[in-house]
Amino acid sequence: MDLVPALEEPLKKVLGPPTAKVMAEHLGLHTVGDLLHHYPRRYEERGQLTHLADLPMDEHVTVVAMVADARLHTFASAKAPRGKGQRLEVTITDGNGRLQLVFFGNGVHKPHKELLPGTRALFAGKVSVFNRRLQLAHPAYELLRGDSEETVETWAGALIPLYPATAKLESWKIGKAIQTVLPSAQEAVDPLPDSLREGRGLVSLPEALLKIHRPHTKADIDDARARLKWDEAFVLQVALARRRHADAQLPAVARRPKPDGLLSAFDDRLPFTLTEGQQKVSKEIFDDLATEHPMHRLLQGEVGSGKTMVALRAMLATVDAGGQAAMLAPTEVLAQQHHRSVVEMMGELAEGGMLGGAEHATKVVLLTGSMGTAARKQALLDLVTGEAGIVIGTHALIEDKVQFHDLGLVVVDEQHRFGVEQRDALRGKGKQPPHLLVMTATPIPRTVAMTVFGDLETSVLDQLPAGRSPIASHVVPAADKPHFLARAWERVREEVENGHQGYVVCPRIGDAIDEPADAKKARKSAEDEAEKRPPLAVLEVADQLTKGPLKGLRVEVLHGRMHPDDKDAVMRRFAAGETHVLVATTVIEVGVNVPNATAMVIMDADRFGVSQLHQLRGRVGRGSAAGLCLLVTEMPEASAARQRLNAVASTLDGFELSRIDLEQRREGDVLGQAQSGARTSLKVLAVIEDEEVIAEAREEAVAVVEADPELKNLPGLRTALDALLDDEREQYLEKG
């Protein structure tokens, strides 16, 4: 939003090098424009103060309160043996709760003079617990006096903005810096077209910036936020609309399946009929494949809704039309698994060029980093000659050596594990841009999909194929009710006695190189002992189970540091039913398909995210027998972690869970991942709450871009786009 030199002025010049340095290093703010867009997190009203009782532990907080009491104590210590040590204890109150402040040593003199009972001030510091009471040690403070003119004026403006701050720079210092640059807000160039702004009754950008930093009433804040949300949603959607517009201009080879080719031979072989959802989504994909510009489609579906089947049919249609299809999987285990299941589903249709292969058959090759040289050479040869119609692989597919005869379709499994650069490298291997199908098994609420993958058309699979069984999920509170955990192991034994198998999932592998020392240090949090001990590890848990509750059962381990051949052998034995229980890390999170596995116990379930738990749970109940998922945790009943687990246990709807997940985690995480590490540009827009704004902004953006793709008549919008899409993001969007 920084067109004008005034907003591009470096903070060094305006605020001086020391402050500017802290702002750049800790808050990522470099120019006057950056600082103006650093909005308050919340506002304090004088007389309506923070509830001291609700302060979060270990967080940096700012509170407005009154000094109730101040006492100076002397004590003896190693540094001050003659009882000369000094400690000032100040109690502050907000009328409801009380909080202790402590100052030591030479640091006591100034606060002892200034913090007299009855004094009001802003206090900032990190909340800790001492002697079972909350306290702030050596907080920074700013007295709220009503004497000099400047403070009288700020005192009268009844709302105090509190900014996202750091230990190095308190909220009120940021506030003062913003007051210094606020006059420049008048020069901010408005990115919204006048017609849009007037049509929606939004205030101008300079007015919004003034109102968000110096509101006189709550209505001011609402006006400003409504306006700034629109900026964020609209500028982002214009960027995505321009991407879609540009993609639609690219040439691609239309891929239409032959009437009686490979695809129809495959469909004839299927022992079941496709669900309505699969048929509908397949039609959307085939319509896209038949056009002369590249398909960009996101296929999202519930765990187990049959996305792989839909993707395979798209790949077969491409081969039918003379092209090749590549499927990119995030891990070797998954690539091998996909390869095995595709070959099984295709039968003799996967035996192209071999005796006994069917008439329309093609070759399906696997390409991973750990393959032997001979197998790898053969696979590369099959790709460059066009002998292999389908290749399934990991990042190894992207290497320069890999050449295709005619790459027509790229299927990317599990979007969130792939950087954009990798997708791009694979797309660059076609003679013309290949069609792109991105599959994600983590259902994303529609607005998030519109914000993160707004350049992709979206298809959703939301019904489960016939024959899938429901999964019962329960939380097992191991600390409160140890007998529940004992019962969990009995349930696993019962499943095995009934001819089924089970998984036990742990957050960690469990050897010395597993956890960096600073991670051990960092884990001191309020959530009691459960948080303090290291997360449970596969190797330890497997050992305890074989000697204890699962004695006599065949238990094996699987984790990411095993040799690929060993991993594959373990998976084969488990799939063949030779192993009763698999103790694993999250390597089994996606794509692992063993219909006979019916029970899953997730240890330290509170260490996993909501969507990860949903993914993991999707590994059971894949056959005709009902699935059981037990979420084991030592977290106390009232903790946020337990509420999260209760949510997972209460619904099997992945879309519902992803909303809960987002509301708890804030979308920065989600957008951050998808933005290939670029910091999320959303400051006031909340993807879940602001669904309407996002949907409306998308419509407006499409209309604007269709009328003026280069935005020649909207210089303010062009500038805002440049600010949003600095080089890194621009490349990110380019690569998509």
Q: Which residue has the tokens 């694993």?
A: 584
pLDDT score at 530? 46
**pLDDT tens for each residue of 284-295:** 999 999 999 899
Q: How confident is the model at residue 156 (pLDDT cuts 50, 70, 90)?
A: very low
Q: How confident is the model at residue 668 (pLDDT cuts 50, 70, 90)?
A: very low
d(CA 451, CA 232): 11
**pLDDT tens for each residue of 349-366:** 888 766 566 677 899 999
Q: How confident is the model at residue 615 (pLDDT cuts 50, 70, 90)?
A: confident
Taking residues 651-664, report their average pLDDT. 78
pLDDT score at 158? 57
pLDDT score at 126? 79
Q: How confident is the model at residue 675 (pLDDT cuts 50, 70, 90)?
A: very low
Map 90-116 to HEC letters. Answer: EEEECCCCEEEEEEEHHHHHHHHHHCC
Q: How confident is the model at residue 306 (pLDDT cuts 50, 70, 90)?
A: confident
Q: How confident is the model at residue 224 (pLDDT cuts 50, 70, 90)?
A: very high
In one-letter notation, the amino acid at residue 44 is E
- Is residue 672 over pLDDT 70? no
Phi-psi sector, 156: left (phi>0), alpha (psi -120 to 50), beta: alpha
- Is residue 239 over pLDDT 50? yes
Beta strand spans in 559-711 (E): 581-584, 597-602, 627-633
Residue 626 token pair: 């009902």
**pLDDT tens for each residue of 370-392:** 888 999 999 999 999 999 999 99
Q: Is 564 exposed, middle or buried (0-12, 13-18, 19+ CB in 10 A)?
A: middle
Q: How confident is the model at residue 589 (pLDDT cuts 50, 70, 90)?
A: low
b or e along 504-534 (b: 16 or more beta carbons within 10 Å of the residue's beta carbon)?
Answer: bbbbbbbeeebbeeeeeeeeeeebeebbeee
What percent of the chain clears pLDDT 90, i.e. is strictly above it? Answer: 28
pLDDT score at 133? 79
Residue 144 token pair: 């709220």
Question: CB under 8 Å, gap of 24 or more: what pairs does 702-710 form?
Answer: 702/237, 702/241, 704/193, 704/196, 704/238, 704/241, 705/238, 705/241, 705/242, 705/245, 706/245, 709/242, 709/245
- Is residue 609 over pLDDT 80? yes
Helices and strands (DSSP H and E) totals, the chain:
29, 21
Q: Which residue has the tokens 């500017």?
A: 20
Q: How confident is the model at residue 414 (pLDDT cuts 50, 70, 90)?
A: low
**pLDDT tens for each residue of 478-520:** 888 889 999 999 999 999 999 999 999 998 887 644 444 444 4
Read off φ and ψ for residue 367, nearest 5 degrees. -135, 110
Quote the pTM value. 0.67
What is the average pLDDT score of the chain? 81
- For residues 447 and 624, is the Cβ–Cβ distance under 8 A? no
Percentages of the chain per state (helix, strand, coil), in multiples of 5: 45, 20, 35
d(CA 179, CA 173): 10
- Alpha-carbon distances, residue 730 vs 57, 164, 695, 722 (angstroms): 39, 27, 23, 8
Residue 634 token pair: 């030592």
Lowest mean pLDDT among 134-143, 320-329, 582-591, 616-625: 582-591
pLDDT score at 520? 42
Taking residues 166-188, report their average pLDDT. 85
pLDDT score at 152? 38
pLDDT score at 223? 94
pLDDT score at 83? 62
pLDDT score at 3? 43
Q: Which of 68-77, 82-91, 305-314 has the highest mean pLDDT?
A: 305-314
∠ at Cα 591 (589, 596), nearest 5°? 90
In one-letter notation, the amino acid at residue 369 is G
Q: Regarding predicted confidence, which is higher, 618 or 725? A: 618
Taking residues 396-410, report their average pLDDT. 87
- Is residue 71 over pLDDT 60? yes
**pLDDT tens for each residue of 622-640:** 877 889 999 999 988 878 8
d(CA 490, CA 503): 14
The residue among 93, 100, 83 whose CA lies nearest residue 138 is: 100
Q: Regarding predicted confidence, which is higher, 679 or 563? A: 563
Q: Regarding predicted confidence, which is higher, 415 or 254? A: 254
